[in-house]
Chain A
Amino acid sequence: AQRVTQPEKLLSVFKGAPVELKCNYSYSGSPELFWYVQYSRQRLQLLLRHISRESIKGFTADLNKGETSFHLKKPFAQEEDSAMYYCALYGQNFVFGPGTRLSVLP
């Protein structure tokens, strides 16, 4: 079975503070992991995927197979990062986590 968990429904940080959005998964095979983001009044869109090993808008995410985690990190949060973030896994199909709402306070 495939499953994605995001333990925090809401995460509030101050501008300039580091931020980490947690994502854990369960899947018996080798998964592909993604982070999707939905800004206010915009469509859900891809932020980054682990296979690309890229940094987008200052965010990075490392796949830790030992801990089955794919946490999203940014060293200095900006107000424009406030959005809903979804972790997703592709194993047999796409499975999305419940989402974490990030609020960056001024």
Chain B
Amino acid sequence: DGGITQSPKYLFRKEGQNVTLSCEQNLNHDAMYWYRQDPGQGLRLIYYSQIVNDFQKGDIAEGYSVSREKKESFPLTVTSAQKNPTAFYLCASSTRQASNQPQHFGDGTRLSIL
């Protein structure tokens, strides 16, 4: 189904490489988010964006970068500075960055280090 599309589903990275995870939404949502999910730790917020050309750091932004050039797209780059990048990454969106707006999630991307 539509909504939020994350690609690829699986991604492998060599040490020292940057990789970019794609997140696209057709829900006309203003706000978009990136989370990292590790076993037993729930979801941790990496970056979020409330509007085009604006984004804010979450709790674990070090070693990651984002851009928000278009409303429907919020790609996440995992840089070589991220020392432990192996994880499951989830993208989400909501109508706006407000407390009572539910988030819609993608299927996720699993990143592994070769």
Q: Which of A6-60 contact B (CB under 8 A)?
A: 6, 9, 32, 34, 36, 43-46, 49, 51
- Tell me if B43 counts as interface (CB < 8 A to partner A): yes
Number of interface residues of A (CB under 8 A): 21
Contact B105 A97 (CB under 8 A): no
User: A9-B40, A44-B90 are known contacts. Are A95 and B102 too (CB-CB below 8 A)?
Assistant: no
B17 CB contacts on chain A under 8 angstroms: none
Q: Which of A34, A49, A95, A98 contacts B45 (CB 8 A)?
A: A95
- Tell me if A4 counts as interface (CB < 8 A to partner B): yes
Q: Which of A82-96 contact B (CB under 8 A)?
A: 86, 90, 93-96
Docked CA distance A9–B90 (Å):
20
Shortest CB distance B31–A (Å): 10
Docked CA distance A21–B105 (Å):
22
User: A4-B42, A9-B40, A94-B45 are known contacts. Are A34 and B102 too (CB-CB below 8 A)?
Assistant: yes
Q: Which of A32, A46, A49, A99 contacts B42 (CB 8 A)?
A: A99
Secondary structure call for the A interface: strand
A51 CB contacts on chain B under 8 angstroms: 99-100
Contact B105 A94 (CB under 8 A): no
Contact A32 B105 (CB under 8 A): no
User: A93-B48, A98-B40 are known contacts. Are A43 and B99 too (CB-CB below 8 A)?
Assistant: no
Shortest CB distance B53–A (Å): 20
Contact with A along B76-114 (1 / 0, CB 8 A): 000000000000001000000001101111110000000
- Interfacial residues, chain B to chain A (CB-CB below 8 A): 33, 35, 40-45, 48, 58-59, 90, 99-100, 102-107
Could you write out 20 A-B pairs with CB less than 8 Å apart? A4-B42, A6-B42, A9-B40, A32-B99, A43-B105, A44-B90, A46-B103, A49-B100, A86-B43, A90-B99, A93-B45, A93-B58, A93-B59, A94-B33, A94-B103, A95-B45, A95-B59, A98-B40, A98-B42, A99-B42
Given A51-B99, A95-B45, 9 more A-B residue pairs with CB atoms under 8 Å apart are A4-B42, A9-B40, A44-B105, A49-B102, A86-B43, A93-B45, A94-B33, A94-B45, A99-B42
